[in-house]
Amino acid sequence: MFHPGAQREKLVINNVGVYLWKPTVEFTAEEFSTLTSANFESASHLCQFSHPLDLKARGAGSVVFISSMAAVISINIGGSFYSAAKGALNQLTKTLACEWAKDNLRTNCVAPAFIRTPLTKAAFEEEKMSEICNLKNSFGTDWRA
């Protein structure tokens, strides 16, 4: 419950994802840069700017990174650089948790499977994806359903 005059905790959510569906050896330097900039650098810089200006100043706060299951398991459909960038987010979460604990700041990371969006349409049509991940949701139904 919010009490008048109480200091509110600040929440920063880093939620961005750019994915290119192609084999690793076919990526250009520009595509690699786009993936790492969007999936890792943007979240890193947001944290750098938010820490002194807002999070630490309030005396308490939370940072939530949205990673991906691809950072934890190999999805093997041409996403090595995406997986690496999201894996970097996972490690950044752990490192900042230790570094910023003294400032009463928490960091957490959520690593969902693919979520139906126009960006993930190809994944949901890829039968190989289902075979590789063999994912089930909490009700035991096919993840593509």
Instruction: Give phi and psi for 65, each to the nearest 5.
Output: -100, 135
Exactly one of 82, 83, 100, 111 is catalytic; which is it? Answer: 82
Helix axes 80-100, 29-36, angle to 10 degrees: 30
> How far apart (Å, rounded) are the C-alpha atoms in residues 61 and 53?
12
> How far apart (Å, rounded) are the C-alpha atoms in residues 134 and 41?
31
Instruction: Give phi and psi for 53, each to the nearest 5.
Output: -80, -30
| Catalytic-residue membership of 19 | no
Assess contact for 93 and 109: CB atoms under 8 A. Answer: yes
Q: Catalytic residue numbers? A: 82
